């Protein structure tokens, strides 16, 4: 309760300083708008404008890319864990791919897929598939071997062993990996959308720049931050915590 | 003549490592008969656990034969179940579902797994804890669950790998008595690995003393003393001294890497 009060006071003070700085220095609003201008952008954008539609289209893109990446990444990860040859060849190249930031794939994606949704989804998949594959591989390699031995001596093998032991034992580490992949997917989405046409958060942000409407730019940056925070920390945070409790990790 | 339940014929086990072969077991031969309670006794690293893995079918011998019911052991199955020191319970299942796990495989598909699991949970006295998560009960209770899980599939052989090593002294003694009770009731062949001479003396019909590197059979002691046993019994003290003599035998040290 006390902490909440301190936080509210802190943010109110921050807004007040922002307001005063803009009011006193008379900075033009296309460089730094005041907080009221940004609130107005939010209000108009959400009530009358296209912010909700932008968010909707962006969500469809990111979820499409993310779920495709999960499918590919989990299968790849299991193969990497099972086959040593794949791990020392393909597995190594995955590691080096991961150090490429998503925005570096944009020119390639645009040439392959044009200025379209597919280009964005391609970038999202590229970004999210790597952490998914790596965390799946690690989750599988870190299964306590005694769990598998115990299951085998109890008569479990093949599909029963995979379904009831291997996959289940992987879940806590896998969920952490899925959260990481989501963070990558979210960043890749915005990077990709800045370069393509159509409705979306990134496009709205870029439109703000084109119109020198800094209020809209700041409103969109804030929206990206809020959605990112709630999905990464609140949504995945809750799932991760529940799984860890159910699995007795905590 | 009575066929042995389990037969080791000149079993050798090496593990390949980056620095060459690691010799674990060297030319081990012994027979174990049905309904026997056998303790495998030896210092850490002598290959005791490897013996259990070979019987379970989790490992294959580098040479020699491991025979179960007159057939070569090919792979693990529920006729030989294994209990670990660290319990190896499935943390995402509650206690009842852990016990029922082996009964959900296709060999046991006909009966209702939970009903039978309940019988075995009763047997170890934990029926009221059936819905508890496994990580919320004590070590002794977890090991009872592991025992019930291993017994529920009605194995012919129960393999125990230092099962009470992680428990405190009092719990350990209770669990030893519990195990003897279960053994007398279910009449399984039990192979119990331990590094405690007293634990072996308290439990076993027969003690196989393993030592050296690679591990060899140093001594095969029959313990013909009725239970419950008093470790001060002169017969047990006699066996104890023989075992200790063998464990400190010069051959044991000559064979090891010092």
How far apart CA A43 and CA B195 sit, in angstroms, is 74
Is B187 within a domain? no
Residue A158 has pLDDT above 60, yes or no: yes
Residue range A239-245: average pLDDT? Answer: 90
Residue from A157, A139, A137 nearest A148 by CA: A157
Residue range A73-88: average pLDDT? Answer: 91
Give me the domain span that covers residue B233.
1-79+193-258
State the ipTM, two decimals. 0.89
Q: Do A155 and B86 touch (CB under 8 A)?
A: no
Confidence of residue B253 (pLDDT cuts 50, 70, 90): very low
CA distances from B26 to A87, A238, B63, B207 (A): 34, 53, 10, 19
Residue A243 has pLDDT above 70, yes or no: yes
* pLDDT given at position B111: 67
Is B156 within a domain? no
Buried b (16+ CB within 10 A) or exposed e, B140-149: bbbbbbbbbb
Q: Which of A149, A154, A169 sits opposite B149 (nearest CB)?
A: A154
Long-range CB contact pairs, B181-188, < 8 A, 24+: B182/B123, B182/B124, B182/B147, B182/B151, B183/B37, B183/B158, B185/B123, B186/B151, B187/B35, B188/B35, B188/B151, B188/B155, B188/B156, B188/B157, B188/B158
Q: How many residues does chain A have?
A: 250
Q: Which CATH architecture has domain A34-246?
A: Orthogonal Bundle (1.10)
Residue A129 has pLDDT above 50, yes or no: yes
Q: Which of B52, B54, B76 to mutate to test the interface with A (most CBs of A within 10 A)?
A: B76
Residue B255 has pLDDT above 50, yes or no: no
Is B67 within a domain? yes
Q: Do A154 and B88 touch (CB under 8 A)?
A: no
- Mean pLDDT estimate for chain B: 90
Q: Which of B82, B133, B134 sits opposite A153 (nearest CB)?
A: B82
Q: Do B104 and A160 touch (CB under 8 A)?
A: yes
**Cis ω on the peptide bond leading into residue B219 (within 30° of 0)?**
no
* pLDDT given at position B50: 94
* pLDDT given at position B254: 45
Q: Name the percent of chain A lying above pLDDT 70.
A: 100
* Distance to chain A for B155, nearest Cα, Å: 9
Helices (H), A83-166: 84-86, 92-97, 106-113, 117-141, 145-153, 158-161
How far apart CA A98 and CA A112 sit, in angstroms, is 21
Residue A86 forms contact with B (CB below 8 Å)? no
Beta strands across the sheet bearing B63-68: B20-32, B6-17, B63-68, B71-72
Could you tell me the CATH number of the domain that includes residue B209? 3.40.50.300
* pLDDT given at position B257: 43
Which pLDDT tens digit goes with each residue over B169-210?
998 999 999 999 999 988 899 999 999 999 999 999 999 999
Beta strands across the sheet bearing B157-161: B80-83, B157-161, B189-194, B37-41, B206-211, B216-222
Residue from B37, B122, B33, B136 nearest B93 by CA: B136
How far apart CA B188 and CA A215 sit, in angstroms, is 78
With tokens 């301190």, the residue in question is A6
* Distance to chain B for A112, nearest Cα, Å: 45
- Mean pLDDT estimate for chain A: 92
End-to-end CA distance of chain B: 43
**Domain total in chain B:** 1
Is B41 within a domain? yes
């Amino acid at each position: 309760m006390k902490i909440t009060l301190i936080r509210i006071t802190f943010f109110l003070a921050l807004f007040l300083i922002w307001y005063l700085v803009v009011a006193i220095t008379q900075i033009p609003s296309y460089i730094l708008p005041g907080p009221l201008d940004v609130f107005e952008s939010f209000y108009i954008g959400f009530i009358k404008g296209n912010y909700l539609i932008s968010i909707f289209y962006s969500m469809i893109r990111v979820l499409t890319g993310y779920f495709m990446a999960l499918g590919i990444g989990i299968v790849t990860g299991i193969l990497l864990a099972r086959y040593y040859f794949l791990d020392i060849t393909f597995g190594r190249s995955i590691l080096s791919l991961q150090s490429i930031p998503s925005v570096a794939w944009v020119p390639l994606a645009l040439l392959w897929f044009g200025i379209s949704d597919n280009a964005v989804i391609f970038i999202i998949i590229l970004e999210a598939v790597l952490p998914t594959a790596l965390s799946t591989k690690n989750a599988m390699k870190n299964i306590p071997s005694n769990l598998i031995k115990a299951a085998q001596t109890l008569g479990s093998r093949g599909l029963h062993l995979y379904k009831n032991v291997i996959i289940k034992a992987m879940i806590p580490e896998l969920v952490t990996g899925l959260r990481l992949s989501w963070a990558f997917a979210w960043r890749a989405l915005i990077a990709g959308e800045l370069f393509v046409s159509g409705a979306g958060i990134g496009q709205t942000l870029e439109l703000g720049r084109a119109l020198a409407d800094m209020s809209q730019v700041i409103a969109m940056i804030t929206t990206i931050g809020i959605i990112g925070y709630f999905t990464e920390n609140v949504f995945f945070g809750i799932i991760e915590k529940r799984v860890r409790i159910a699995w007795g990790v905590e | 003549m009575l066929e042995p339940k389990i037969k080791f014929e000149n079993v050798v086990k090496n593990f390949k490592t980056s620095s060459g072969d690691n010799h674990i077991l060297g030319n081990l031969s012994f027979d174990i008969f049905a309904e026997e309670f056998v303790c495998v006794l030896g210092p850490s690293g002598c290959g005791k656990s490897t013996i259990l893995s070979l019987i379970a079918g989790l490992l294959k011998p580098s040479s020699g034969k491991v025979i179960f019911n007159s057939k070569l052991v090919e792979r693990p199955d529920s006729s030989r179940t294994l209990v670990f020191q660290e319990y190896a319970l499935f943390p995402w299942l509650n206690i009842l579902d852990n016990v029922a796990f082996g009964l959900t495989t296709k060999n046991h598909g006909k009966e209702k797994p939970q009903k039978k699991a309940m019988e075995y949970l009763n047997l170890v006295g934990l029926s009221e804890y059936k819905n508890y998560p496994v990580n919320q009960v004590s070590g002794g209770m977890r090991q009872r669950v592991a025992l019930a899980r291993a017994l529920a599939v009605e194995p012919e052989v129960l393999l125990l790998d230092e099962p009470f090593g992680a428990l405190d002294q009092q719990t350990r003694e209770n669990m030893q008595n519990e195990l003897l009770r279960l053994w007398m009731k279910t009449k399984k062949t039990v192979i119990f690995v331990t590094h405690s001479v007293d634990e072996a003396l308290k439990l076993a019909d027969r003690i196989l003393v393993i030592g050296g590197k690679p591990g060899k059979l140093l001594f095969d002691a029959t313990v013909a003393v009725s239970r419950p046993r008093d470790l001060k019994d002169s017969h047990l003290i006699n066996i104890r001294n023989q075992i200790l003599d063998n464990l400190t035998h010069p051959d044991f040290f000559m064979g090891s890497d010092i």
